[in-house]
Structure 1
Amino acid sequence: MAKVVSVNISKKKGTVKKPIEKGYFRENHGLEGDAHAGRGHRQVSLLAEESIEKMKAKGIWDLAAGKFAENITTEGIELHTLPVGTKLKIGEEVILEISQIGKKCHEACEIRKITGDCILPMEGIFARVLKSGFIKPGDEIIVINE
């Protein structure tokens, strides 16, 4: 079963996000209170725990959910293999649509400075919120279409 491991938030762009108990993901906006929320196609970022484990295997041990500035840390789903346009139902209500796979890391990337590398450019994904609701750790992730 694919599930949410952590919901993470930051008040400032380019910084490590901190885990929260639950987050409200608003339609066409993103995670309420997060610096990256707003209009556009990159409203929410997701990264798999399995991708973080790849970084740990490279010898970077001090990694945890939110360290790569992802809003949602997942487990049991290979996010980066899903095509753009795929819809994910998370928990009871939220529907996300994958809008971008990976991104170019900027030179002043705090995450790259802290970890020495950044997996987000290759395996992180971005999504738009199609249907609002709360997401919390333990919520199931269902691929609606591929």
Structure 2
Amino acid sequence: MRTESTGYIVAVCLRRGHHFSKTPSLSIRLLAGLGVEGDGHMGALVQHRYDRRRDPARPNLRQVHLIPSELFDELRAEGFTIQPGDLGENVTTSGIDLAALPTGTRLHLGTQAVIELTGLREPCVLMDRFQEGLKAATEDRDANGRAVYKAGVMAIVVSDGEVAAGDAIETVLPEGRQRPLEPV
């Protein structure tokens, strides 16, 4: 693996139970194989309500949700009112193009925690319930007509650790053939 770039954490959020938005916190604790301690999406097996109904035995590839703060700037310029946690993310980042990273990229958050990117968050209808037009604002098409999702990325926790706003993020790309992130 090779280190690629460094960014930082803008905000951290969690919320017990299944809700669209999460509450900003001073810090969060990441637990290997489980996710964010105390968060409604924590667990080794799938916690997303729709996915759990379809196959409750699937591994949870959505333990941690990350969104770049640069997306919030873009959405604000389009007239949306968005703050950290509003779109359900656990970690708001700055300085890293999360969606451009390959599957398997490891992010070292703070001094101990390590997460591994598993895929993209596909925008859903709940986004429009939060603010009308938000789902379309987080979807796009590339030059080849393929869907581009800008609603953040999902990850699993590899190593425990507490993380907080201001902590550095070190990006480590996987070795070998790299696969682009797909929706999970």
Q: Do both proteins adopt the same fold according to a TM-score greater than 0.5, normalized to the shorter chain?
A: yes
Distance 2:123 2:69 in 1: 20
**Cα drift, residue 63 of structure 1:** 1.1
Could you list the per-position Cα deviations for residues 11-59 of structure 1 after superposition, in whole angstroms to 9, with x for gaps in the alignment? 2223211100101000000000000111111100000000111111111
Distance 1:22 1:14 in 2: 19
2:169 to 137, 141, 146: 141
Bigger radius of gyration, 1 or 2?
Answer: 2
2:29 to 24, 28, 38: 24
Contact 1:90 1:139 in 2 (8 A): yes
The count of residues paired between Structure 1 and Structure 2 equals: 142
Distance 2:64 2:128 in 1: 20
Distance 1:65 1:35 in 2: 17
Sequence identity percentage: 28
Please report the TM-score for the alignment, with normalisation by the length of structure 1: 0.90
| Residue 149 of structure 2 corresponds to residue 122 of structure 1 | yes
Q: Displaced runs of 4+ in structure 1, greater than 2 A?
A: 118-121
**Cα drift, residue 122 of structure 1:** 1.4
Contact 1:94 1:133 in 2 (8 A): yes
Structure 1 portions without partners, runs of 5+ = none
Corresponding residue number in structure 1 for 2:11: 6
Please report the TM-score for the alignment, with normalisation by the length of structure 2: 0.73
Could you list the per-position Cα deviations for residues 52-89 of structure 1 after superposition, in whole angstroms to 9, with x for gaps in the alignment? 111111111x2100000000000111111101111110
